């Protein structure tokens, strides 16, 4: 498969964009090859600058759930853009999107729109600190909550891919109040709660981790965190930037029956445009300016074009109700990957939660970051490249999630399994 134009664009990008990209994981350094440059996408397919077509399981890192260029969303964006891109005033569509989100997510009574997942998390944590008057935060090793200073410790996503324990440019004081424990380790949280309980403002967690590859919560883990928060008077924050509207219409909180105090959202709720949101208990949200003293604002927050896209996306998603079809197709993909790897003699663990899936190249079951780190990233790279050459696009890192969308068909899943079977045989020899 020829990717000469992508190569040329990359050389050009390197001259003006740092490492040729606007977000580190797009550099493909996690899979040891120059990045693919996209030209357009439609449904379940993405086309690169050379005209190659890929069956897409990256899905813009989970932001796309109805397939690319979904007609309702495209129309909504056109319609909105014609009426002006931004006003700096409130609009009816902001109410509509907020109402759809509230209706879906049991933990949200009031919310605010922002422009990215990072911004949602940053704002939610400031609010949690402002509401409780406490400083400390508990996060989990391998969970990624965006690139806000306070949470750039033992984070997943690009930091896992590039082997960075923390980020430069973050003074020690900024993370001094961030306590990190292994995912799925309730005992570790219990001991922190005993030692620091009175000082902990919030526990924040990806209810299904996606940024160290997919790692579902152990039975009772999320319920246990809820109880600890209640006991010590801390707020429980579910970061549903990835899982919201992905694993169920009501997110992981509805799937597992967990009531958070605050929820953060992003990705799907913008229909593919830049977005974030945070919301939760009305008494907590009332601490925000202008009624409360916790400041948070944004010129582009609730942008009308984004709101139109988001409403179109959520309405179409609600109507499609694709979650049992996702379950069926992704279970088939999971089983197909397991069988094909076993046949080729390639040790593989497949973790899955609804339409989120990761194949880890390791013998060890993956339940946290340490077990996930036993995966062979070099092998994943080789697998990724074999799949790409067969026209299947996966996330360009061992420690990221792959996603399904409503446009993927049973035949697409069979094609992915067949391609994986050939790819496993090819890498088994290496």
Asked if 143 and 156 count as a contact pair (C-beta separation under 8 A), the reply is: yes
Mark the segment that binds ligand PMP (CB under 6 A) among 100-108, 138-146, 189-197, 254-262: 138-146
Residue placing its CB nearer to ligand PMP in the complex, 133 or 169: 169
Q: Is 144 noted as a catalytic residue in this protein?
A: yes
Which residue among 58, 73, 192, 242 contacts ligand PMP (CB under 6 A)? 242
> Per rule CB under 6 A, is residue 182 in the interface with ligand PMP?
no
Q: Which helix (H) or strand (E) holds 181?
A: strand 178-182
Neighbours of 71 (CB within 10 A): 11
Q: Is 323 noted as a catalytic residue in this protein?
A: no
Count of all residues that appear for the chain in the document:
430
Angstrom distance (rounded) from CA 266 to CA 249? 14
- Scan for tokens 């977000």, then name that residue: 23
Q: Is 54 noted as a catalytic residue in this protein?
A: no
For the CB of residue 47, give the shortest distance to ligand PMP in the complex, in Å.
Answer: 24
Neighbours of 414 (CB within 10 A): 13
> Per rule CB under 6 A, is residue 126 in the interface with ligand PMP?
no
Which residue among 6, 27, 118, 398 contacts ligand PMP (CB under 6 A)? 118
Which residue among 241, 288, 311, 312 contacts ligand PMP (CB under 6 A)? 241
> Per rule CB under 6 A, is residue 124 in the interface with ligand PMP?
no
Asked if 268 and 251 count as a contact pair (C-beta separation under 8 A), the reply is: no
* Upper half-sphere CA count for residue 425 (Cβ side, 13 Å): 7
Give phi and psi for 398, each to the nearest 5.
-65, -30
Tokens representing residue 22 in the block: 């606007």
Residue placing its CB nearer to ligand PMP in the complex, 153 or 241: 241
Partners of 113 in beta bridges:
277
Among 136, 154, 255, 267, the active-site one is 267
- Which residues does 35 contact at the CB level (< 8 Å), separation at least 6? 6, 10, 20, 21, 26, 27, 28, 396
For the CB of residue 116, give the shortest distance to ligand PMP in the complex, in Å.
Answer: 4
Give phi and psi for 356, each to the nearest 5.
-115, 135
For the CB of residue 243, give the shortest distance to ligand PMP in the complex, in Å.
Answer: 7
Site track for ligand PMP across 255-294, x = CB under 6 A? -----------x---------x------------------
Asked if 286 and 261 count as a contact pair (C-beta separation under 8 A), the reply is: no
Asked if 125 and 202 count as a contact pair (C-beta separation under 8 A), the reply is: yes
Which residue among 146, 150, 182, 270 contacts ligand PMP (CB under 6 A)? 146
Q: How many residues bind ligand PMP (CB under 6 A)?
A: 17
Which residue among 68, 112, 126, 145 contacts ligand PMP (CB under 6 A)? 145
Q: Which of residues 210-239 bind ligand PMP (CB under 6 A)?
A: 210-211, 239
> Per rule CB under 6 A, is residue 206 in the interface with ligand PMP?
yes
The catalytic residue positions are 144, 239, 267
Binding stretches for ligand PMP (CB under 6 A): 61, 116-118, 121, 144-146, 157, 206, 210-211, 239, 241-242, 266, 276
């Amino acid at each position: 498969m020829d990717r000469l134009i992508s190569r040329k664009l990359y050389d050009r990008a390197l001259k003006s964009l740092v490492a040729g990209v606007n977000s580190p994981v797009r550099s493909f350094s996690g899979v040891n090859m120059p990045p693919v440059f996209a030209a357009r996408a439609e449904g379940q397919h993405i086309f690169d600058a050379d005209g190659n077509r890929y069956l897409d399981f990256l899905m813009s890192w989970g932001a796309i759930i109805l397939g690319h260029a979904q007609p309702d969303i495209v129309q909504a964006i056109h319609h909105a853009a014609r009426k002006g891109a931004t006003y700096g005033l409130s609009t009816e569509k902001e109410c509509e999107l907020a109402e759809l989100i509230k209706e879906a997510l049991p933990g949200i009574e009031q919310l605010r729109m922002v422009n990215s997942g990072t911004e949602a998390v940053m704002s939610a944590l400031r609010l949690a600190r402002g509401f409780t008057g406490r400083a400390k935060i508990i996060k989990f090793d391998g969970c990624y909550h965006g690139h806000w200073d306070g949470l750039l410790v033992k984070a997943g996503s690009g930091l896992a891919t590039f082997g960075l324990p923390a980020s430069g440019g973050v003074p020690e004081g900024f993370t001094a109040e961030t306590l990190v424990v292994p995912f799925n380790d309730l005992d570790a949280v219990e001991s922190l709660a005993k030692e620091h309980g009175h000082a902990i403002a919030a526990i924040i967690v990806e209810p299904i981790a996606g940024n160290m590859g997919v790692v579902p919560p152990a039975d009772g883990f999320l319920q246990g965190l809820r109880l600890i928060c209640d006991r010590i008077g801390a707020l429980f924050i579910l970061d549903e930037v990835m899982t919201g509207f992905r694993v169920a219409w009501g997110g992981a909180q509805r799937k597992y029956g967990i009531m958070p105090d605050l929820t953060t959202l992003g990705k799907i709720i913008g229909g593919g445009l830049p977005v974030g949101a945070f919301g939760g208990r009305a008494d907590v949200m009332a601490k925000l300016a202008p009624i409360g003293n916790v400041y948070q604002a944004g010129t582009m927050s609730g942008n009308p074009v984004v709101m139109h896209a988001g409403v179109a996306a959520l309405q179409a998603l609600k109507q499609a109700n694709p979650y049992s079809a996702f379950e069926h197709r992704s279970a088939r993909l999971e089983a197909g990957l397991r069988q094909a790897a076993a046949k080729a003699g390639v040790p593989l663990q497949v973790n899955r939660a609804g339409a989120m899936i990761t194949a880890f190249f390791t013998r060890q079951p993956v339940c946290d970051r340490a077990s996930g780190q036993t995966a062979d990233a070099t092998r994943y790279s080789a697998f990724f490249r074999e799949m790409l050459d067969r026209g299947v696009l996966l996330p360009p890192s061992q420690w990221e999630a792959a996603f399904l969308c409503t446009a993927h068909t049973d035949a697409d899943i069979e094609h992915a399994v067949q391609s994986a079977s050939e790819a496993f045989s090819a890498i088994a020899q290496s």
